[in-house]
Amino acid sequence: FSDILTPLPALGIDFDVVKGKGPVISNKVSSMDDVVALRPMLSPDEDLPFVSEILSTLRQEVNGEATVIGFVGTPWTLAAYSVEGGAERHCKTTKKMMFNDPAVLHALLDHISDALVEYCSYQIQSGAQVMQLFDSWAHHLTPEQFQAFSLDYAEKVIRELKKRHPDTPVLFYVNGCGGKLGMLKSCTADVVAVDWGVTIKETREALGEQRTIQGNVDPMVLFGTEDEIVSAVDRCVAEGLGQHHIVNVGNGVIVGTPEEAVGVLIDRVKEHSKVVSSV
């Protein structure tokens, strides 16, 4: 449901989605004055009323037959978009801020973290049964940078959400998690989701057999043959050891992916689920 950048306009960071470019932010954050000028997330129901309308409608339409998942970008991903003004291959402006004026970046991350607690709570109160935080730009960070500029702030959001909504599972997706699996062991999210650049086997070894993990079929496999898709799912399930594992692609479904291919993946996962349920 929704988009990872949806809460930004409520903070005073406006964006538009431009065909061929993706999100474009006109009023980028570049100084401490810009951070201080940001609005707090005080009334998401007034600033983002469509979120509640959509979630409540979805809950009614699925009628208990599926789980409604709310999602949003992590503090790091939203901060990077806000500084760059859109997608940027090297995340250059944000990394320059990190190395030359880290206080500004930390202040921005702190502000967004507080806002996300309120925004995620709003989604949950509006009907989301699970919350997923997407760290789409984590691949721009070294393990050390990931800890200081991403994980610490994501944890701030996750911990507060668990206090407010203890019965709502929180999922944390990390793109480019190679070299970062060890530090994710301490993450308090109910589920850790990984991209296709690592194996489920090494993820399981790093996080333990009792940790629920999510992932991570290469989404490009969905452009392959039915046999290739089935084989990829079988391998993913086998590496997950058949327990505490949510199978999906290791990122988003790529534009142009045949719907029938997605159906093949889902059907194969369901076949494995029936086997596990019968044991």
- Alpha-carbon span 161 to 129, nearest angstrom: 13
Q: Does the pLDDT at position 235 exceed 50?
A: yes
Is the pTM value of this prediction over 0.85? yes
Query: pLDDT tens, 5-47?
Result: 999 999 999 998 888 788 899 899 999 999 999 999 999 999 9
Query: pLDDT tens, 55-89?
Result: 999 999 999 999 999 999 999 999 999 999 998 88
Cβ neighbours of residue 56 under 8 Å, at least 6 residues apart? 126, 127
Token representation of residue 53: 């309308």
Query: pLDDT tens, 178-213?
Result: 999 999 999 999 999 999 999 999 999 999 999 999
User: What stretch of H or E contains 89?
Assistant: none
Residue 251 or residue 53, greater confidence: 53
Query: pLDDT tens, 136-159?
Result: 999 999 999 999 999 999 999 999
- Alpha-carbon span 279 to 259, nearest angstrom: 31
Find tokens 């480019």 and name the residue.
176
C-alpha closest to that of 111 among 99, 103, 101: 103
- Alpha-carbon span 95 to 118, nearest angstrom: 27
Window from 20-24, 225-229, 245-249 with minimum mean pLDDT: 20-24
Query: pLDDT tens, 78-131?
Result: 999 999 999 888 999 999 999 999 999 999 999 999 999 999 999 999 999 999
